Structure 1
């Protein structure tokens, strides 16, 4: 049963057009067209051409009303059934008069759009483009073009292609589109996949380089699309390559071979592999970051793709790759130095902006122009003579650097290292690493001035907490105008005069430094426990106890006796005063 008969039979039984379209996998408008019109019968004489072929005088069609009409004059609603079971329109194609011309132009490889334009310009054709396209498609269906299979030798060719990757969903819910570069060795079908956020030259070349490093060698040929990161002007005979991509190929000894546009069969191995990656490795999975996605792709490649039996070679991919590995070219000892270059002005805060991240430059270059070279791994700041001033590791957008001059193997001040972190510079807030980190950092820097300065800073932190940070920074700043020994001596004097409740102030240190050696030191006078002029504490204790007893109302002693007793026995003997000197 043909599709047309199935549509009409199901429609007659009351099934909906949507259900018929879904079950037969046919467009719903096509289902509606065939379900509305009953099937027409066509009777043709044996060996004759049916209606619509261009010679319709001998063909006869039976319309739904039962009338027999010739193919050339059949109504639009009449249908003809050919011996092969195909239903064709009873009307004649408007391209039939130009069949020979169309066949010749189609044989030359011209598209239906070009054929339609030439017919209108040269032959006065008045039909539509859709009519020409249908006619050309029927010609191609009668004469399909053969596709030649191309097999490669070990280590000869690698095919690459970009595919749209999954969305990366961060913890905050932000979604970002990814692209996956797929590389396939033509002999063994060994693959490599890497996800990137952009298809620019830097991402493309770094992903290619990572793939070659993963294979352990490079091939002689590289088949690719005409993407702008590799090919500036597409031309199958004489393409114009991107200068960076051409230098990359020379670095690894590879010959690039761009394919014709709209000819995916020219790199069919990677085209089929793209669909395999999408269905096997990515479908139904979500990832939190680009690194998470790349780790999954690498694990999937090792555990699934390399262990499968390939449908064409009927061999395990990993085993064939071990056979191909010795035929790969040796990799160069260094990576390809692909970078971007531009001029920047050092901002007032000492940073330059590169790819939305901020990198510190030497302070003497503030307000001046510098050259910046960057790639996916490294950012270098250079002067006009292309000498490296400072280098940084590439950061994510919005981040700031902590710099370390690449020319100096280690900073001279040991206080700049704390807990294994380099702390020479500050960020845009004036602090670097948090309050606790900076208190420990500046306290250690104050300790380089002397032991008294270290003790003064520690006592200040103990009494004032985080408020002491700026005072300690000010103490260290005094080293610009005073010697460390003088600062330490001033701190010793301040500690000597400080009591348990005395507030430590930086202005006291400044006052002592201004006074210099003339600053007086407080004399410590010891307290005396006994002296002939001063009564002992025992006498006062007896006095307090006697008066406390006299104040008790329950006492039975009369006032006279108490008074006389008090007068007779004094708890305080007369002090012995020293004799006057003659």
Structure 2
């Protein structure tokens, strides 16, 4: 049994018992709880240090320890060894290799060890570190996905400007079969699209997808219960896969894709570094070509390649793709206006009037808009790109255009009358210019609320100017007030001169 080094207090006590009290080594060892050999070593160290007992009173513990335990003399011809923890830390940096570190070591110690000794000793030291869990994955079980830190440069052919595209990488757990592509962003639409193309490239779906905790995939990271982005979860449900994110700051949870990203950077990006791309399609075409070579490249220590292992073991374990491709959709939480319409990209879609002023969930794609209340779909529309217009279903309207939640044409018109005749004329024009008066509620409210910000007098003047210039709209009146044009001299115009000739215009009597 090896005994630990004694404290300086006990070493002094051992020397006192031996020299002052005449105890032999065994007796001293029994008194101090150590071995006779250890006691003998301290006595011999005292003699080799040229000291005698009693010790000089001025000799402190630090000096005594330095005299008893001097550093070992350097053997002639011995070379300095590298500091292996520093080597390991530097290797974690991007682009740093053992060859680079050895060259730096030799520059500092010209008489240092050769490259083979350097690599061999580092490998032995690294293998002595605490063991990590080796992950094994069943065929078809897991797909690991992530973005590369390195990006793809793409040149705008018209301006010559360089723009960097993101590089998406996906790796199957059992076969290491790899997919990669360039996308403009890491936003939800590109993130979902890359997953869809990955499943189609592999010809099936795994049981589990393991992403990092980027916002497009994970709305709220958590060790116990992460909240998945709603669109991402909808896509996973469509393909019958489970999303289990890696733990935050735990790269070993997705070691497969970490290694896959490194491989794609070295095998694909490094080979394309001198190429000039002028479109995303051109870049992805080059990536796809090298991706075939990467998956067909033979393993160094295992038989076969990624492609052969995938074909032999993993392809048959993947779940079949659904009959229809997932259609990307965004979700939005919105509040229904008093006109029972919901604003999506400045186009207004109707819901049944009883849901006015209530909060709803909106799912919208390039072609459709669906509106849900407490999980139940209450309306569906064809997506329109006409900004400022309405998509209204007649069945959603209240009987006889009755007021919705207290708002109606009469209330808006009475409010305008209190401000002034020109404001009332503008409100009359807005209400009469739509197929249904409810479609003009937002514009009317916008105009009337300008009086709270700028004063009723200025609003009345701005409405007068709008009538003069035949531009009675919220946008024109707001701009007039913002730029102070309502305060410039102008010719007063009677409200009756507002040109309203189409048959949809209603007179003041309509609101009484």
Shared fold by TM > 0.5? Answer: no
Indicate the TM-score class for this superposition, using the shorter chain for normalisation.
0.3 to 0.5
Structure index of larger Rg: 1
Identify which of structures 1 and 2 has the higher relative contact order when contacts are C-alpha pairs closer than 8 Å and 6+ apart.
Answer: 2
For normalisation by structure 1, the TM-score amounts to 0.38
TM-score (norm 2): 0.43
